[in-house]
Amino acid sequence: MGEGDRLLPAVALRPPRAPHRMAERSPAIRSQAGGPRLPMSLDWEDWFQLCCPPYDAPEALDRYACRLPLATDLALGLCAELGATATWFCLGDQARRHPDLLRRIAAQGHRLGLHGLTHRRAFEMDRPAFRAALRDGKALLEDLSGQPVVGYRAPEWSLRGPAEAWWEELGELGFAYDSSRAPLALMGDPRWPRRAHRLPGGLWELPPPVLWSGPVRSPLWGWGLRVLPFGLLRRALEDLALADAGTPLVLHPWELDEGQPALPGASLGHRFAHGAGLRGHGDRLRELWAGFRLVSLETWLEGA
pLDDT, one tens digit per residue, over 91-105 is 999 999 999 999 999
Give ∠ CA 92-95-96 in degrees, rounded to 5: 90
Q: Please give the pLDDT value at position 38.
A: 98
**Is the predicted pLDDT of residue 22 greater than 60, yes or no?**
no
- Average pLDDT for 24-41: 66
Whole-number pLDDT of residue 213: 62
Up-side HSE of residue 17: CA atoms within 13 Å toward CB?
18
Q: How many other C-beta atoms can be found within 10 angstroms of the C-beta atom of residue 178? A: 23
DSSP strand pairing (216-219 vs 210-213): antiparallel
Q: Is residue 19 pLDDT above 90, yes or no? A: no
CA angle, residues 71, 75, 77, in degrees to nearest 5 = 115
Q: Which residues of 38-55 are buried (b: 16+ CB within 10 A; e: fewer)?
A: bbbbbbbbbbbbbbbeeb
pLDDT at 30 over 60: no
Instruction: Tell me the mean pLDDT in the region 149-168.
Output: 97
Name, of 10-19, 31-40, 126-135, the range with top average pLDDT.
Answer: 126-135
Least confident range from 31-40, 45-54, 66-75, 162-171: namely 31-40
pLDDT tops 60 at residue 27: no
Which of residues 32 and 105 earns the better pLDDT score? 105
Q: Residue 10 pLDDT > 90, yes or no? A: no
* pLDDT (mean) for 60-81: 96
Give the C-alpha separation, 129 to 181, whole Å: 20
Point out the least confidently predicted range of 178-187, 207-216, 259-268, 278-287: 207-216
Given a contact cutoff of 8 angstroms between Cβ atoms, the answer to whether 199 and 169 are in contact is: no
For range 101-113, the mean pLDDT: 98
pTM greater than 0.85 (yes/no): yes
Q: How confident is the model at residue 92, as a pLDDT?
A: 97
Range from 20-24, 144-148, 192-196, 219-223 carrying the lowest mean pLDDT: 20-24
Cβ neighbour number for residue 8 with a 10 Å cutoff: 17
* pLDDT classification of 12: cutoffs 50, 70, 90: very low
pLDDT of 229 higher than 80 = yes
pLDDT value of position 216: 67
Looking at the chain, the whole-number percentage of residues with pLDDT higher than 90 is 75
Q: What is the pLDDT of residue 32?
A: 44
| Closest by Cα among 257, 288, 273 to 223 | 273
Quick one: pLDDT band at residue 26, thresholds 50, 70, 90? low
Whether residue 223 is predicted with pLDDT greater than 50 in this model: the reply is yes
Residue 237 CA to residue 183 CA, distance in Å, equals 17
Write down all domains in the chain, each with its CATH number in brackets. 35-46+58-302 (3.20.20.370)
- The answer, yes or no, to whether residue 168 has pLDDT greater than 70, is yes
Rounded mean pLDDT of the chain?
Answer: 89
**Beta-strand (E) ranges in 45-170?**
87-91, 111-116, 151-152
- The answer, yes or no, to whether residue 3 has pLDDT greater than 90, is no
pLDDT confidence band for 7 (50 / 70 / 90): very low
Give the pLDDT score at 35.
76
